[in-house]
Amino acid sequence: MALTTDTAKSIVDAYIDAWNTRNRDGYLSLFAPNATVEDPVGSPIHVGAEAIGAFFDGSLALADSLNMSAHAESIRVSGTSIAFMFTVASVIGDTTIELTPIDVFEITDDGLISSMKAFWSGQDMRTVSA
């Protein structure tokens, strides 16, 4: 599959939309059967649909609400890889915490994510309202 910026944008948009709508099935449909998720890099790697689904569920359970927005101008394509920056705002009680990670996807010939790595640390979190 020739990975173009337009294709990459479509994949990123679908990924962000799945998180924002809490669409577990839509999220999982973006991944190859034996895909891996490492979020953040250095943490335990989630392998396969069951583990990735549990990661999705667990991540959503951490906050009362969550909103992600991609920085469209940051999407980069190199070979079969996509890198992009986005902002996630998590509301926990009366507090909103923002984080701006960089995700890197490896894409299969079928246009599915075979690997997702998220680059961020606790130092990147900031409280924007309390």
Residue numbers annotated as active site: 15, 39
Q: If you write DSSP's letter for every residue of 110-124 in order, what string do you get?
A: TS-EEEEEEE--GGG
- CB-based burial, 50-64: b 16+ in 10 Å, e otherwise: eebbebbeeeeeebe
- CB-based burial, 77-88: b 16+ in 10 Å, e otherwise: beeeebbbbbeb
